Each structure stands twice: as structure tokens, then as C-alpha cells.
Amino acid sequence: MSATHRSLLLVTLVVVAALAATGLAAGQSSSGTVIGRPDIDVYASTTEVEPGTETDLQLVVSNDGQLRRGGPAEYETRVVTARGVSLDVASGDTPFEINTGRVAVGDVPRGTTTADPISITVPEDVSPGRYRIPVTVSYTHSVSVEYSSVGSPKYNDISREVTRYVTVRVRDQAQFDVVDTSSAAQIGDTGNVSVTLQNDGTRPARDASIVLSSSTDELTFGSGSTSSTGYVGRWEPGTNATLDYTVTFADDAAERNYSLTATVEYEDTDGIARSAEPLAVGVRPDPEQTFALRDTDSTLRVGTEGQFSGTVVNRGPDAVSDPVVVFQSSNPNVNVESSEYALDALGPGEASEFDFDVAVSDGASATTQQFNVSVRYRNERGDTRRSDALSERVTIAPQRDRFSVEAVNRTVVAGQTTTLELRVTNQGDDPLSDVEAKAFVQSPLSSDDDEGLVSSLAPGESATFVIGLSTSGSALEKSYPVSVDFQYELPDGDTEVSKTYRVPITVDRPESGGPPVVPIAIGVLVLVGLGLLVWYRRSDGGD
């Protein structure tokens, strides 16, 4: 290090030491008192409230702290800061109800600090105008701070409680309330809800509309919307407005009260678009339209046509027009000639009978089936509706032949002709007419008269058909089949052909009728010839 550098370093150290000594001396001799105070005020950022509402009042605490004697910055901040600030809002002379208790704000330095909102209730009948709400502000602050170079500072703290006022205005405006509601809608159907509101405010509403909305999918508007809007127009104070809305209650809706929300949207007298506070509207649906079955009966059997009948009862709550009973069956072997049966109009509690012609095919089983019918009808609005299915258990009887066929005389003689008598019994439930029998035979049997006819045959009644029957002389002694079927007419005019019935016929050989004449004659002639021959020979020998 050169001599010049050593000289500069020495000078620098001397200067630093001198400055440090000067600072220490100054610190040891500094002291004083800082004096000041906070200047607290309260303002409301919410300046307007509406009658009949619960409103959050947003308060702002302002501190315009005053410093009378200064000093170190930290002590100046101390004397102008309000510590532990809390707000206590009272109703005072106002008609308002204060819902929030004391609110803690904390330390409030110079400037503004936002407090937590205060909930107030504004009565529906409050008069328009300005109202001053008292707010009590409690806090602690340091009046002065005494400090010196020796020891800790001395804080002179006091607690204060001051009352400030915030002003809010109740607008001179339109105001609305629900006067009446009514419902004419059933569960599972569409109907009307009528809502009546009154403008009980002090100003008219222009271009007013009432928006009715639902928060549940059990109750919808129009084509399934959650809300519907009705237009009122100019709405003077003290007047009512009634609007009808089309609503639909779901099939699974419960029979209880439902809450709708009515909101009035309008322009005030200054042309400002406003939306009133939502109003609750209660609606209760009518019970679901229901029907019942009673006195059901059936005459169904496998392979035949029968009836399924009964009575439909309108259990209400409303009358229905143009009711039609609709028959339903999931069994492909059960067929109904017409699946609809029209009834007369039915009031609540009234009943009407139905009767279906049902054919059960041969492939069906003789079991208990479940038949379902429903009622299609028009409600009081004229809309077509269909009830839930009404179920009924129906027994299908086993198949039974339409006829029983029995041969009265079962035996014929080979080589001869006879008459075959067939006793035929109607085993069905319907009377039959123009019953025509047709016989079919095969060799060695034959018939020149194979048809018969009776004009009528009641259920359980029997008739005898006579068929001509011949057998060849070579027929063997055994049983041969004779087949016969029947064509007949049912009571409804339909013509049917029965199945083919087989009747066994026994063929016998002819019985013996006495000694054979020809063989005996031949034998006699032979004997006579032999006698004459003997006589001739004897006569010839005597000669």
C-alpha cells in the first residue's frame, strides 16, 4: 500500500468516528411529546331502501385524524389511530328494525375502513322520506406519547364513545303485494293459476310485467318452462292487476302447497327500469283425476270368443266428457275385435258399463291373465287426457270342443246299407243357428246321403243327424272311422266351421239264415241219380 492510500484511509476512519460520536450524543439528548387525536365519522354507502324489504346497510368508517404536535412517525400514527373500533347501530326514531348487533371494525388509521354490513328491516307501511339512523362508535386512542432517549415511551390512552348518524331514504315509488291466488290445475294435468297483485305504493308503474317462476320441475309453465311473464302496462297506485298463467303439474307431483315467485318488472316515473322485491305465491294442485273398475266379469275360454265386461267409476275430482275405455293386452293369443268402448259423460262418482268381445286363440294357455284398461277422456279445458292403467285379473278356461258327437248306432253289416245316427250336442255358451253337418267316409264305407241340417241349437241342446251309410261285401270285420264337421252361424252373424270329429263305426259279417238250398238240391239230385243208376243195372241183370 502506498503512502497516499494509507493517508486517505486514516482520514476516513477519523471522519466516521467523529460522526458516530456526534450521533450518539444527539440520541442521548432527544425527547419530546407527540399529541393528536382521531376524528371519526360514519357514512352509509347504501342510500336508498325499499319498503317491505330486508336490506344490508353498508357502513364506511372515516378517520380524519388531527396531529397537534409532531414527532417520530410511529408516535404520530399512534395518536391519530382509533383502536378497537366497534359500531352499534340503533333504530332511534326510525321505523326500521335493526337485525345485526355490535359490529367489530378493528383499528382505523387515517383514511376510510369498510365495516361488515348491517341488516335492517324496512316495514311495508313505512312512509317515503329521509331517515337518520344513529350509530354509536366506540374506540380507544392515545392522546399523547411522551418519549425520551432513556426508557420506553409513555402512552396516555383514553376510551371514547361518540354517536354519528347515517341518512337513508325510502323512495317514493311503486310497491306491490299479493292480494289473491287461485289454482284450477290437477296433478298430472295442465290448468290455470290466477295471481292478483296490488300496487300499494305511492307512484305508478309503467310498462309493468309480472314474472311468475317456479323452482321445482314438478310445476312448470307452458311447454315446460320454469317461468312465464304476463304484461300489465301502466299500473296506478291502489289498483289491482290479475293475470292467468298456464301451468302443468307432473304425474309424480305431491298433493301439497307449492311456492312460486312473483317479480314485478317496471319503469318508474323517471323512466328508470326497476325490479321489485320478489313475492311468494302459494299454489296447491287439485288431486289427480282417477277412475276405478268394479263388477268385472269374463266368459273367456281357449279357442273361443267370449266377453270381458265391467263398470268404470269416475272417482273425480272433476267431470269428464267423451270417456272411452281402451282395452290393452300384451298376450298375442288374446285378441279384441274393437279395443275401444265409448261411454257417456261421467260426473264425479258416476259409473258406466263396458263390454268387449275377446277371442282367445288355440295357442293360448288356460291361465289367469292380467287385463289392463285405461280411460281416455277430455278434461274441463277440452284437452284429451288418458288415465293410469286399471288392472284386472281374468281367468281363461281350458279349451272345450264346440260340439260333442256320439254315434247312436255304431254297427253296420258288410254288404248292406244302413242309416247312421249321430247325436250332436252344443257344448258352447252361445246359441247356434243353421248348423249343417257334413260326413266324410273312405272305402269300404260309402255314402250317398252325407249331409244334415238343423235350424238352431241352443247351449246344452242336442240334435240327431241321420247319414246314409253303405259297406261293401268284402269289408273286414273291424272298426272304420267316419269323419264329420259342422258349419254354423254365431249370434253376431259370423259363420264358422268346426274342427273335424271322428266317430268309430264297427263292420260285422252277415249272420247265417238256415240250410243252403242249392247245395241240398244238388245233393238230392246226386242221390236220385245214383238211385236210378242202381235200379237200371238191376233191371238189366234180370232180363
Q: Which residues contact 388 (CB under 8 A, 6 or more apart)?
A: 290, 374
Residue 41 pLDDT grade (very low, low, confident, very high; cuts 50, 70, 90): very high
Q: Residue 530: its pLDDT value, please?
A: 64
* Minimum mean pLDDT range among 52-61, 147-156, 416-425: 416-425
Q: Alpha helices of 461-516 — where are they, by DSSP H?
A: none
Instruction: List the Cα angle 497/330/398 in 5-degree steps.
Output: 45
Q: How many CB atoms lie within 10 A of CB 338?
A: 8
Which residue is it, cell 326514531? 93
- What does the pLDDT average to over 262-275? 92
Q: Residue 201: its pLDDT value, please?
A: 84
Q: Residue 155's beta-bridge partner residues?
A: 145
Q: Output the CA torsion sign for 227, 230, 233, 237.
A: negative
- Cβ atoms of residues 62 and 80 within 8 Å: no
Q: Residue 95: its pLDDT value, please?
A: 93
Q: What is the CATH number of domain 176-283?
A: 2.60.40.10
Give 29-170's CATH code, choosing from 3.40.50.720, 3.40.50.300, 2.60.40.10, 3.30.70.520.
Answer: 2.60.40.10
Q: Residue 476: its pLDDT value, please?
A: 83
Q: Residue 68: its pLDDT value, please?
A: 93
* Minimum mean pLDDT range among 38-47, 170-179, 458-467, 523-532: 523-532
* Minimum mean pLDDT range among 27-41, 95-109, 168-182, 389-403: 27-41
Residue 522 pLDDT grade (very low, low, confident, very high; cuts 50, 70, 90): low
Task: Name the nearest CA neighbour of 203 among 150, 268, 296, 247.
Answer: 268
Q: How does the average pLDDT of the chain come out, rounded?
A: 85
543 pLDDT higher than 70: no
| Pairing status of strand 351-360 against strand 334-336 | antiparallel
Over residues 324-368, the pLDDT tens digits come to 999 988 888 898 988 999 999 999 999 999 999 998 887 788 888
DSSP characters over 332-398: TTEEES-SEEE---B-TT-EEEEEEEEEE-TT--SSEEEEEEEEEEE-TTS-EEEPPPEEEEEEPBP
209/233 Cα distance (integer angstroms): 7
- What does the pLDDT average to over 263-277? 91
Over residues 485-517, the pLDDT tens digits come to 999 998 888 898 888 888 888 888 887 544 444
Residue 531 pLDDT grade (very low, low, confident, very high; cuts 50, 70, 90): low
Mark residue 150 as left, alpha or beta (left: phi above 0; alpha: psi -120 to 50; beta: remaining). beta
Q: Residue 525: its pLDDT value, please?
A: 59
The ranges of the chain annotated as CATH 2.60.40.10 are 29-170, 176-283, 291-395, 403-508
Q: How many CB atoms lie within 10 A of CB 442?
A: 10
DSSP characters over 421-432: EEEEEE-SSS-E
* Minimum mean pLDDT range among 26-35, 188-197, 278-287: 26-35
Q: Residue 508: its pLDDT value, please?
A: 85
Residue 49 pLDDT grade (very low, low, confident, very high; cuts 50, 70, 90): confident
46 pLDDT higher than 70: yes
What is the signed CA dihedral for 489, 494, 495, 499, rounded to 10 degrees?
Answer: -90
- Cβ atoms of residues 528 and 430 within 8 Å: no
309 pLDDT higher than 90: yes
323 pLDDT higher than 50: yes
Q: Residue 314: its pLDDT value, please?
A: 95
Q: Residue 172: its pLDDT value, please?
A: 80
Q: Which residues contact 226 (CB under 8 A, 6 or more apart)?
A: 213, 214, 215, 220
- What does the pLDDT average to over 240-258? 92
Q: What is the DSSP letter of 279?
A: E
Q: Residue 540: its pLDDT value, please?
A: 57
11 pLDDT higher than 50: no
What is the signed CA dihedral for 84, 90, 93, 97, rounded to 10 degrees?
Answer: 150
471/510 Cα distance (integer angstroms): 12
Q: Which residues contact 39 (CB under 8 A, 6 or more apart)?
A: 63, 64, 65, 66
Q: What are phi and psi of 537, to 5 degrees?
A: -65, -40
Name the more confident of 119 and 475.
119
Q: Residue 416: its pLDDT value, please?
A: 81
87/104 Cα distance (integer angstroms): 6
Give the class (CATH, top level) of 291-395: mainly beta
Q: Residue 537: its pLDDT value, please?
A: 60
CATH 2.60.40.10 is held by the domain 403-508:
yes
